[in-house]
Amino acid sequence: MLLKMPRGRLLLVQKSASLWMPRRMHSNETRTSGMASRAGTAITKGFFQFLGQITPICAAGGLFYMMIVRRQEEEDQRPVRQIITSQVPAIVGDFIERPVLFQNLQRLILDPDENMDFFVLITGNHKVGKSHLVQRVLQGHQGVFRVTLQDGQTIDSALHGVLGVENDAAMVWAFAEAGKQLGHRPVLLIDIQERVTDTKTLNSISNFCKEFGFEMKLAKVVVTASSAGTASFITGDDRRVDFFVPCFSLEELKKEKAQISKWYGQPVEDIEIDAVFDLAGGVVGDIQATFVQARKIGLGKALSDMKRKVQRDLQNYQCIDCSGGFGPGKVCLATWLAHQVAKSSFQQCFSSFELPFNPSQFGVTVRNLRAHPIYFDPNSSAYCARSPFVHRELGSIKSAKDLMKAARV
């Protein structure tokens, strides 16, 4: 059929052409018809040769186009898969569990999606166990995406870099699509390290958390901050839920003698726990590090190293009043506050609602100077000494005037 169609069309052209051709051409009609037939055959043959040549090219072009489309789809899905398959790292080593805190945080983070119309801000002293607690709660859950902020980054730019996307629209789509495929909102962990002090970086988190977690509901947002000063930049009104991880009490530590003995490498005595707690307080990271070090160099040497570290903190704190005090009002009450904390019992701490500086201003100052002998406990709204040793030393901290006099002498 295909071979006859071109010739049939050609014959129609020949027939119609005979109506206007000069009469002398009709005398050669047979010869002309034969020539036309051969010409038609040649054209038909050339046409199909041409088709034979371009068909592989068209087929290859189609395959190439399909490859480009497939590659683009895979590229679009790459950040989605990255979110879906992300998990918190496996817990390595032995840690002291805190069942009550674990259950409370678990209820906050793993509530059904429709109940979570807030973001969670987790605070507590450096090395108190915040990250470990979050790991324990989210262990084994898929869709737990973690980003660590560095100075100079905004949270948006940090996420763009980790996900490999170019703009907010692609990031929003990736989290929304991940939520659809998971069947629930993914968890976004934002980890703010102690060394992060850049105001632009910290200010970017607050609006992001409110929009991403509360308004758009693209993820369950959990922020961990290593200091009260850092946390003060992350406002949230009623859309923020604070979760404070307190230090261990001495009684809690003594119930964990079996675990501490593993760190120490031998059975630990109450008197040894007392000695470490006296310097480190209830900061479990420092307690663990001290006993692990004691396993290698002896407890006496490990305690001496810890004492030097604590004394450096006290010296840094003593410089606050000389360096401008607390807040924009330059309230030089660091020495006064130290003395008030020293006068209060170690367990009860010092509480006052009529101070000319607030906990955020206090937190920013001690963070910037790396001076942490005193911390603010939001659960009791009180200023507390880091350890019993610090509590005893705070009463002997000299005022700025005394330091200047000593320097002149």
pLDDT in tens, 22-60: 333 344 444 444 444 445 555 555 555 555 565 566 655
Residue 150, helix vs strand vs coil: coil
- β-pairing verdict for 382-385 and 374-377: antiparallel
Split at pLDDT 50, 70, 90, the class of 231 is confident
Give the model confidence (pLDDT) of 59-89 as tens digits. Answer: 555 655 566 555 655 667 899 999 999 998 8
**Can you give the pLDDT at residue 360?**
86
| DSSP code, position 148 | E
- The pTM score is 0.76
Span of 110-114, 121-125, 302-306, 378-382 with lowest mean pLDDT: 110-114
Residue at 245: amino acid letter: V
**Can you give the pLDDT at residue 89?**
86
**Can you give the pLDDT at residue 33?**
45
Given a contact cutoff of 8 angstroms between Cβ atoms, the answer to whether 260 and 273 are in contact is yes
φ and ψ at 21, to 5 degrees? Answer: -65, 145
Given a contact cutoff of 8 angstroms between Cβ atoms, the answer to whether 190 and 144 are in contact is no
Given a contact cutoff of 8 angstroms between Cβ atoms, the answer to whether 247 and 282 are in contact is yes
**CA 393 to each of CA 1, 365, 389, 390: distance values in angstroms, whole numbers, following the listed order:** 106, 20, 6, 5
What's the whole-number mean pLDDT along residues 137-152?
A: 90
CB-based contacts of 59: which residues, under 8 Å, 6+ apart?
none
Split at pLDDT 50, 70, 90, the class of 200 is confident
**Can you give the pLDDT at residue 256?**
94
**CA 351 to each of CA 245, 342, 374: distance values in angstroms, whole numbers, following the listed order:** 19, 12, 13
Split at pLDDT 50, 70, 90, the class of 1 is very low
Give the model confidence (pLDDT) of 367-387 as tens digits. Answer: 888 888 999 998 888 999 999
Residue 274 in this model has a pLDDT that exceeds 90: yes
